[in-house]
Structure 1
Amino acid sequence: MQDRPLRILLLSTSDLGGGAAEACRRLVEAFAGLCYVEVRLLVLHRGSDLSQVGTVASTPLRKLKGRYYFLSERLEIYLRNGRSRHDLFRVSTAHYGFDVSKHPWVKWADVLHLHWINQGFLSLSSLERLSTLGKPIFVTLHDLWMATGICHLPLEFSQDSGATLCPHYEQGCGFCPLLRSTVQEDLSRQVQRTKGFLSGEMFHYIAVSRAEARLFSRSPLMRGRPAPIVLPNPIDLELFSPDRVKEEVTYEWHSPRTRYLLLVAARLDDEVKGGRLLREICTHLRADAPELAEELCLLLVGTIKEPTAFADYPISTRTLGSIRDRRDLAMLYRLSSVVLSTSVYETQGQTLVEGLAMGTPAISFACGGPEDIIHDGENGFLIPPFDTHLYAQRLAQLLRAREAGGFTPSICRQSVQGFAADAIAVQLLSLYEYALSLSIPKS
């Protein structure tokens, strides 16, 4: 046993914005509340004022260096994908990034825990050097990049089927559709070959859903190693609590006669988020239940790069942009009748958990992570992919059931108690300690 607290270092590209950043910050706060651990978070882009957070871009020169790494990787991909911007951010090579293996915080730590580390933060060579330090390295899989060649999700998208598994994923990549490649020995296969060290025994992988764990294990890189541990991203059940949100509503657009549907995403018009499917759902809802559709307003939280993406919708819509203050987001969950996900794939589905914690039921396609969150008919509905007509019918059913007293806030909130940040932190601590016990030389 150590005679000092366990030292944990989390690493993430940023500490604000997106699911990985939120998960990291919640873990920092949860670990900070434990007397027998010390925790720090090392990032590239620092946005919060938490004292435990530090950045590798600590000087103007290092900030410029981070920008150079980011732009160099994007240029490399752009030149290899037929000069297309469409899929530019669906892939990462990690050929460029900081080497943190000699960073003072890395030396300080007993355990390293990686989250999302792409787009100029850590390079593959840096990851390989970390693996030689003799410290357990935990990796939370916010996507599947660790198991692929270069893509973050090994999926192909189409207008008809939504999303299907890339046929090259289980074959060691090559012929990469995101590169428009017609050869096997392309950039995706070359990068996957250099990732071989990621299957080493120093790496301990954590999937945020059972579906993600299954998909991860199908990678040629990860065959023969234990299946990843399944442990969801944490949420702050104290913040996302109906008891913490004031009843007074200050939004000028709010009307007590309107029922609100809420969709939250970092980027709403990303095709993974299913904007086309959402439009079809609203069209079916308008056709099948026109009186109900008149009472609804779709609230959209997140960035929209294509201004016409949500124009001329079949039901009323209101775009609210990105919301950084989690208290404002909690209020929106509380005001809404249903939290929606129309994604074609989700590794977890954190917004669904947050909404349920606020007592609001959820509806989603059965597309990965939501299958671990929604208990069909109890706290919402799971819809077979990608039946938009059935989705619209179940949405109408859910709204009417809520009006009749069903899908109560207490049932919804109770369904996500296992996602509490303090509970997840304690489970992680047990995993860290076990990994450390395996690395202690026996006398």
Structure 2
Amino acid sequence: MKIAILSTDGGGGGAPRAMQRLASGLSARGHAVNIIQATRNHAQPNAIVVESDGVPPEDDDCAQFIDNDYLHSRRTPRSNTFFSFQSKGFDLLELIRDGSYDVVNIHWSNFMLSPEMAGLLIALGKPVVFTLHDMGHFTGGCHYSAGCDGFERDCAPCSQVSDDTLAMTSALIAAKRLNYRQANVAAVAPSHWLADCASRSGVFELGSVHRISNAIETDLFRPMDKAEARRALGLDPSTRYILFGAHYTDEVRKGFSLLIEAIELLNRRLPENGAECVGELALLVFGEATPEIRSLGIPVTSFGFVSSDQHLAFIYNAADLLILPSLEDNQPNVMMEAMASGVPVVAFAVGGMNDMIRDGINGRLVAPGDVSALADAVLSLVTSPARAVGLGRIARNDILAEATLDRQAEHYEALFESLLGARQQATRGVAQEPVIATSAGFIPQSPIRLREQVAPRISTPNVRAERASFLAVRAAEEASAAAARDEAERRQQEAAARPRGLVARLTKLRRGISRSLSGSGKRL
């Protein structure tokens, strides 16, 4: 098969990294895979980079207003996770059609595809498969709903956007239902939780959402000798290490504040339990150690942003366990990489953690938000290294059984073939466009400049009127602020001038008195 994979970015973040792994697995099974992406970040040899050929200024102004001023001023305290109205998208129609792709696989595609532009691709009749890395493909804009089930209805009112006078959230989910609920469209979710949410959204046809786990390079992320890994990183081989991430620590759903509380509890409970590792416990951190981390009173080593997979593999193997405190998540790469490395994961029982972690068998799961239970679960492993090793061994075997690159690609391959078979059945007797044989190594000259369009639900008279009103209010506020500044500056200048005027008058008076006294023969 010839497969087009659409992704905003080519790697680095969690979603594009998972996408790259799927692309590698499919390529290894002999399929011709082209990654089409909207940035040059981490572009691979099999990537086609697209860039905007421009947007009509008036339409672009509307999109910028909706995505920035309108949205940001209305976010509620419920969540601070990324939210997008998906207002613009590239016209990829000719690129996909002329490339003679058999299947289109859409991944995280914000700033690249709007539902309306994706609808043009779906209308070609080719199988289109959405790989869901979060909830963004089936909601009114949120990428994690923070427990809200509004996506099952019309996302109005939205719990994350207040005073949505333009009804942006309901318009967005309506556009998705209109364009995505087609017979040639399927969705794949790595976790049962996300698959269930997508099925309940009404965005995809009944029965068209499938669960296929993400994959990990098990030859790279594999168990190593811990002492050797620690020496390679300059760490003490005899210390017990707890690993966690410190990226996006302000994002509420990541649970960073709960992690800090759990480690504080752990630090107090270690001596209470007479644990042997008192004074021999240390923290390993992906990202930078924040002041909260450094104030815990436990030695910490931070690795910053790690771009090398080999370096990552050493870090995982240096750890005794990984803490994952997310309160809402799909199937984090860090969990999969740790388990493949034979490192047990301690996490809250949410999202994709429930699929991969079996409490007390290959890791530890505790009730969501239960900080005390999280601390106790960590305590049970740092005080029993043999148990941690045993759980990690089973975690590795579970990854080998379910989440290798080839196993994931095999499942996708079967889904693609079933969709292609259904298409052939549906179009039997109908003239088809000719298929042009194209070698897997042929890549159009990149980057390609394509037309970018603003979604019709964005460039409306109502949006233009709202923007004009917003700009008028902002101009009035800026004029008022400028007038206030001018008045304050005038008063400051007057106040500064008063002492100088007084001194001048006193000096003049003194000189006059001096002259009078001088005429009388006296001195002042």
Give me the TM-score of the superposition, normalised by structure 1: 0.86
Match of 2:112 among 118, 121, 128: 121
CA 1:324–1:71: 2 relative to 1, 3 Å: farther
Secondary structure at the residue paired with 2:141?
coil
CA 1:81–1:442: 2 relative to 1, 3 Å: closer
In 1, are the aligned partners of 2:5 and 2:36 still within 8 Å (CA)?
A: yes
Deviations, residues 412-432 of structure 1 (Å, cap 9, x unaligned)? 210211100111111111111
After superposition, residues 192-203 of structure 1 pair within 5 angstroms as 192-196=173-177, 197-203=179-185
The range that moved more, 71-80 or 261-270, is 71-80
Is the counterpart of residue 341 in structure 1 residue 324 in structure 2? yes
Q: Larger relative contact order (C-alpha < 8 A, sep ≥ 6)? A: 2
Is the counterpart of residue 295 in structure 1 residue 291 in structure 2? no
CA 1:371–1:408: 2 relative to 1, 3 Å: closer
Instruction: Could you tell me which runs of 5 or more consecutive residues in structure 1 were left unpaired when the two chains were aligned.
Output: 1-5, 156-164
Secondary structure at the residue paired with 1:428?
helix
**Amino acid paired to 1:126:** M
Is the counterpart of residue 42 in structure 1 residue 42 in structure 2? no
**Amino acid paired to 2:393:** S
2:206 is matched with which residue? Answer: 225
In 1, are the aligned partners of 2:240 and 2:281 still within 8 Å (CA)?
A: yes
Cα distance in 2 between the residues matched to 1:69 and 1:434: 40
1:257 is matched with which residue? Answer: 238
1:396 CA drift (Å): 0.8
Deviations, residues 153-189 of structure 1 (Å, cap 9, x unaligned)? 111xxxxxxxxx2153333112223222376x62211
Instruction: Could you tell me which runs of 5 or more consecutive residues in structure 2 were left unpaired when the two chains were aligned.
Output: 430-524
Deviations, residues 78-120 of structure 1 (Å, cap 9, x unaligned)? 32236268867621111112111111576331100011001x1
In 2, are the aligned partners of 1:97 and 1:122 still within 8 Å (CA)?
A: yes
Secondary structure at the residue paired with 2:137?
helix
Secondary structure at the residue paired with 2:327?
coil
1:282 CA drift (Å): 0.8
RMSD: 2.9
Is the counterpart of residue 96 in structure 1 residue 88 in structure 2? yes
2:197 is matched with which residue? Answer: 215
1:174 is matched with which residue? Answer: 156
Cα distance in 2 between the residues matched to 1:42 and 1:34: 20
In 2, are the aligned partners of 1:16 and 1:46 still within 8 Å (CA)?
A: no
Cα distance in 1 between the residues matched to 2:183 and 2:225: 43
1:320 is matched with which residue? Answer: 303
Deviations, residues 338-358 of structure 1 (Å, cap 9, x unaligned)? 011000011112211111111
Higher helix share goes to which structure?
2
Match of 2:255 among 233, 249, 274: 274
The range that moved more, 25-34 or 363-372, is 25-34
In 1, are the aligned partners of 2:82 and 2:143 still within 8 Å (CA)?
A: yes
Cα distance in 2 between the residues matched to 1:72 and 1:254: 53
Match of 2:403 among 410, 413, 419: 419
Match of 1:442 among 420, 428, 439: 428
Secondary structure at the residue paired with 2:8?
strand
CA 1:248–1:279: 2 relative to 1, 3 Å: closer
Cα distance in 2 between the residues matched to 1:330 and 1:45: 27
Match of 1:283 among 256, 264, 267: 264
1:23 is matched with which residue? Answer: 18
The range that moved more, 364-373 or 233-242, is 233-242
**Amino acid paired to 2:313:** A
CA 1:274–1:88: 2 relative to 1, 3 Å: closer
In 2, are the aligned partners of 1:15 and 1:45 still within 8 Å (CA)?
A: yes
CA 1:386–1:404: 2 relative to 1, 3 Å: closer
In 1, are the aligned partners of 2:127 and 2:184 still within 8 Å (CA)?
A: yes
Is the counterpart of residue 110 in structure 1 residue 102 in structure 2? yes
CA 1:265–1:45: 2 relative to 1, 3 Å: farther
Match of 2:341 among 315, 340, 358: 358
1:368 is matched with which residue? Answer: 351
Cα distance in 1 between the residues matched to 2:377 and 2:227: 30
Secondary structure at the residue paired with 1:11?
strand
The range that moved more, 290-299 or 18-27, is 290-299
Cα distance in 1 between the residues matched to 2:29 and 2:149: 45
Cα distance in 1 between the residues matched to 2:288 and 2:389: 33
CA 1:101–1:280: 2 relative to 1, 3 Å: same
**Amino acid paired to 2:390:** F
Cα distance in 2 between the residues matched to 1:245 and 1:74: 50
Percent identical residues = 26
Secondary structure at the residue paired with 1:300?
strand
In 2, are the aligned partners of 1:235 and 1:419 still within 8 Å (CA)?
A: yes
Higher strand share goes to which structure?
1
2:368 is matched with which residue? Answer: 385
Cα distance in 2 between the residues matched to 1:209 and 1:106: 34
CA 1:387–1:79: 2 relative to 1, 3 Å: same
Cα distance in 2 between the residues matched to 1:286 and 1:309: 14
Cα distance in 1 between the residues matched to 2:199 and 2:108: 19
Secondary structure at the residue paired with 2:413?
helix
Is the counterpart of residue 147 in structure 1 residue 104 in structure 2? no
CA 1:308–1:83: 2 relative to 1, 3 Å: farther
2:27 is matched with which residue? Answer: 32
**Amino acid paired to 1:353:** M
In 2, are the aligned partners of 1:146 and 1:198 still within 8 Å (CA)?
A: no
Deviations, residues 313-363 of structure 1 (Å, cap 9, x unaligned)? 353333322111111111111000001100001111221111111111111
- CA radius of gyration, larger in: 2
The range that moved more, 24-33 or 293-302, is 293-302
Secondary structure at the residue paired with 1:56?
strand
Secondary structure at the residue paired with 1:364?
strand
Is the counterpart of residue 77 in structure 1 residue 63 in structure 2? no
1:274 CA drift (Å): 0.3
Secondary structure at the residue paired with 1:299?
strand
1:250 CA drift (Å): 5.5
Aligned pair count reads 417
In 2, are the aligned partners of 1:73 and 1:93 still within 8 Å (CA)?
A: no
CA 1:314–1:343: 2 relative to 1, 3 Å: farther
Secondary structure at the residue paired with 1:40?
strand
Cα distance in 1 between the residues matched to 2:84 and 2:209: 22
In 2, are the aligned partners of 1:346 and 1:369 still within 8 Å (CA)?
A: yes
CA 1:141–1:404: 2 relative to 1, 3 Å: closer
